[in-house]
Structure 1
Amino acid sequence: MKKCIKLTILSIFLVSILSGFQASNDSQVFSADSDKTPTFFVQSKTNGKDVFVECILSGISFRQSDHKGQKVGKLVIWVDGKRTKEVNAAAFIIKGLPPGQHEVKLEVVDLNNKSYGLTSEFLVNIPK
């Protein structure tokens, strides 16, 4: 009974954190030659001309570390098929998109821009 209550509280907590976010529909998972399969989940929220993006990525770090075997990477951001920028953070803002519908693609790559095979694509609609 206590376990059920704890799970319910945890579920309510997670839902409250994630409320207001739109999860992308096309997150992909890929095994990148490790014992643990990296996972990649993306949430986005539009605010005016800006898109707030939050990524949950396991198995790959955005920081170089002294840990041997730790995979390090970055995110390449594509908007409407054009490479726009790179980020080394799990949360970021895509600023100043023009009105209309836009296709956003996120790709996890290593520091030499070799793809880990983890991508997520989603559509955002910027109001007029």
Structure 2
Amino acid sequence: MKKYIELTILSIFIVGILSGFQKSNVLPVSSEYSQMTPPSFFVQSKTKGSNVFVECILTGISFRQTEQKDRKVGKLVIWLDGKRTKEVNSAAFIIKGLPPGRHEVKLEVLDLNNQPYGLTNEFLVNIPK
């Protein structure tokens, strides 16, 4: 019985030591972190009727134009079938009233002076007849 207790304690000790060598997944939550990592841009879309619901995940750039001293500020430009259609200042929006057929949607992230950040995302949507 004493041998099993010693073996259990030794096993717990070894597991504790080995788990200490795993890489930590904790990231700093400061403005320094947002300046260290390059911005990233992910888009998810859903078509319903003639409307396209778009959600964007944009790291490193904010759409808020006030109180952003340590962060980059930007906006999204929507291109539809190669033509610039409108600008939005939010991460979620709806493209309304598209005609039936296939459409190419391009989203481009610009700063407030219309200079590109180099972040774009393109996707196709099919509006049924």
Counterpart position of 1:43: 44
TM-score by length of 2: 0.71
Q: Choose 59-68 or 108-117, whichever is displaced more.
A: 59-68
Q: Which has the higher contact order (CA 8 A, sep 6+)?
A: 1
Deviations 1:25-66 (A, max 9, x none): xxxxxxxxx422111000000000000000000000000232
Aligned partner of 2:112: which letter? L
1:7-86 mapped onto 2 (5 Å cutoff): 34-86=35-87
**1:94 and 2:95 correspond:** yes
- In structure 1, what is the Cα distance between the partners aligned to 2:50 and 2:114? 28
1:103 positional shift? 0.2
- In structure 2, what is the Cα distance between the partners aligned to 1:67 and 1:111? 12
TM-score by length of 1: 0.72
Q: Which runs of 5+ in 1 are unaligned?
A: 1-33
Q: Any idea what SS the aligned residue of 2:103 has? A: strand
Counterpart position of 1:20: none
- In structure 2, what is the Cα distance between the partners aligned to 1:85 and 1:95? 12
| Count, aligned residues | 95
Larger Cα-atom Rg? 2
Deviations 1:41-92 (A, max 9, x none): 0000000000000000000000023242310000000000000000000000
Deviations 1:2-41 (A, max 9, x none): xxxxxxxxxxxxxxxxxxxxxxxxxxxxxxxx42211100
Aligned partner of 2:108: which letter? E
- In structure 1, what is the Cα distance between the partners aligned to 2:46 and 2:128? 13
- In structure 2, what is the Cα distance between the partners aligned to 1:59 and 1:101? 32
Counterpart position of 1:113: 114
- In structure 1, what is the Cα distance between the partners aligned to 2:109 and 2:70? 17
**1:104 and 2:109 correspond:** no
- In structure 1, what is the Cα distance between the partners aligned to 2:67 and 2:101? 44
